[in-house]
Amino acid sequence: MGGEEHEACGRDLHLPHLLASDSVVAGEGSVAATPRQGPVDILRYGRPLPGSLRISLLEASRMTILDRAVAELRARDLDALLVGPGADLRHLTGYHALPLERLTLLVVRADGRHTLVVPALERPRAEASGAAGVVDLVDWGETADPFAAVLGALDGSPARRFAVGDRLWATFLLSLQEALPGAAWVRGSQVTRELRIRKTAAEVDALRRAAAAIDRVHARVPGLLAPGRTEAEIGRDIAAAIVEEGHQEVNFVIVASGPNGASPHHETGDRVVARGDAVVVDIGGTLDGYCSDCTRDYVVGSAPDGYADAHAALEAAQAAACDAVRPGVTAAAVDAAARDVLEAAGYGAHFVHRTGHGIGLEEHEDPYIVAGNDRPLEPGMAFSVEPGVYLPGRWGMRIEDIVVVTDDGGERLDRLDRAAVTV
């Protein structure tokens, strides 16, 4: 599950009490953990990601992806797509741009002429990414007007229809609107969603490798859960294991013990794990540019009253939702499959979130497995299936697997047993 929608893998890490001196080593090129500035600052561990994620090694070439973007623009009568740093920029060009106060903007035009506008000091990173092989590269100096460079990439036309990246900072969008008076603006996801929502075979294989790596981490969790240890201490060890098992980044670690488990996005903290605690462990990382995300439940000693019956119902609900996955079934129907089981068992009021979210370059992306989403599933769509039961003041539980739609059903990428593990 992790936190709600963030720009990319490498999101808020739920380990608020990591010390600035802590580090996690993962082979050659390892770096120490970044000192924490606040309770939920982003931390990155182990091997640093390169300036570009070489996703061009996957099945679809950058030019093919850009050609598809052009087709989407033309189908919607749009003149250009404007995209800032984030997953969409990486997907379209291979460039992993830093989110800076200096403007970086990709201009994808419906006529097939594309330009990446970058700060001059970032040009070497952009060139190293290989982006210049698929788009024109234009840089701007410290005292120059970056929006003039964008206008140049658009041939200076003042009134057009543009799709703008959903994650572009408001300050940049407002400046673009000032520079392009009379233009019409729509959400860029109208274009980019269709480019990413169906994974290629190579992308599915990347997700499969990431899932296998996070499964190996969960297999190590029973050895880390012990009475007398704090959630944060356990979380630090899990973060180290995520890197040791092959991820380049730790995206998040949730260790929610006892009553903390009733908060789906609990921030791992100072609570001491005790015998009789139920513990929710939700973890994910980035491996070769693609995200993992898996939740399993643990019991320290004996289970709390009522826990076993609730977990049996949760296992049945999660299985029903996974079994419902196949082409043509709506996302809402998968959500209903899980929800109906929990409603019948008397836990419906305690299932407080959607059943799942898409996953790929980002932890949270389309499609969303939620009531009201009547989009039919298609082969290649990848998403979590993660119903939960949360009893405030007592305990919580959640089971989460990543599932990919196949030609005739669904494939669970996470393979570990779903039963609660007693330690």
Containing structural domain, residue 132: 60-196
Indicate whether 35 belongs to any domain.
no
Residues near 288 by beta carbon (within 8 Å), at least 6 away in sequence = 53, 206, 209, 210, 248
Residues near 12 by beta carbon (within 8 Å), at least 6 away in sequence = 3, 6, 40, 41, 42, 252
Residue carrying structure tokens 């990382």: 285
Q: Is the pTM of this model over 0.95?
A: no
State whether 189 and 210 are in the same domain: no
**Domain boundary residue among 150, 172, 196?**
196
Q: How many domains does the chain have?
A: 2
Per-residue pLDDT tens over the stretch 286-308: 999 999 999 999 999 999 999 99
91, containing H or E segment = helix 87-93
What does the pLDDT read at residue 158?
62
Distance between CA 278 and CA 176 in Å, rounded? 51
**Domain boundary residue among 165, 196, 227?**
196
State whether 253 and 367 are in the same domain: yes
Residue carrying structure tokens 């407002």: 174
**pLDDT at residue 39 above 80?**
no
Per-residue pLDDT tens over the stretch 45-98: 334 344 344 443 433 466 789 999 999 999 999 999 999 999 999 999 999 999
Q: Shortest CA distance to 91 belongs to which of 196, 11, 201?
A: 196
What does the pLDDT read at residue 156?
74
Indicate whether 17 belongs to any domain.
no
**Least confidently predicted of 59-63, 67-71, 262-266, 315-319:** 59-63
**268, 232 Cβ separation under 8 angstroms:** yes
The structure tokens listed for 361 are 């370059």
Indicate whether 122 belongs to any domain.
yes
State whether 190 and 206 are in the same domain: no
Indicate whether 418 belongs to any domain.
yes
**Strand (E) positions, 274-351?**
278-287, 290-291, 294-299
State whether 237 and 191 are in the same domain: no
State whether 379 and 413 are in the same domain: yes
State whether 401 and 346 are in the same domain: yes
Residues near 399 by beta carbon (within 8 Å), at least 6 away in sequence = 295, 296, 297, 314, 315, 318, 386, 387, 388, 418
The structure tokens listed for 140 are 């701007």
Q: How confident is the model at residue 157 (pLDDT cuts 50, 70, 90)?
A: low
What does the pLDDT read at residue 1?
76
**pLDDT at residue 214 above 80?**
yes
State whether 226 and 313 are in the same domain: yes
State whether 252 and 325 are in the same domain: yes
Per-residue pLDDT tens over the stretch 350-380: 999 999 999 999 999 999 999 999 999 999 9
Got the DSSP string for 344-379? Answer: HTT-GGG--S-SEEE-SSSSSEEEEE-TT--PBP-T
Indicate whether 399 belongs to any domain.
yes
**81, 163 Cβ separation under 8 angstroms:** yes
Decide the pairing of beta strands 356-358 and 388-391: unpaired
The structure tokens listed for 45 are 């561990």
Decide the pairing of beta strands 184-187 and 249-257: unpaired
State whether 181 and 224 are in the same domain: no
Peptide bond preceding 222 in cis form (omega within 30 of 0): no
State whether 243 and 136 are in the same domain: no
Q: Shortest CA distance to 344 belongs to which of 316, 325, 386?
A: 316
Give the burial string for 376-394 (b: 16+ CB within 10 Å, else e).
ebebbbbbbbbbbbbbeeb
Indicate whether 22 belongs to any domain.
no
Q: Identify the CATH number of the domain in which residue 392 sits.
A: 3.90.230.10
Helix axes 307-324, 331-344, angle to 10 degrees: 150
Indicate whether 136 belongs to any domain.
yes
Distance between CA 36 and CA 30 in Å, rounded? 18
**Domain boundary residue among 168, 196, 224?**
196
Indicate whether 14 belongs to any domain.
no
Q: Identify the CATH number of the domain in which residue 83 sits.
A: 3.40.350.10
State whether 154 and 229 are in the same domain: no
State whether 130 and 146 are in the same domain: yes
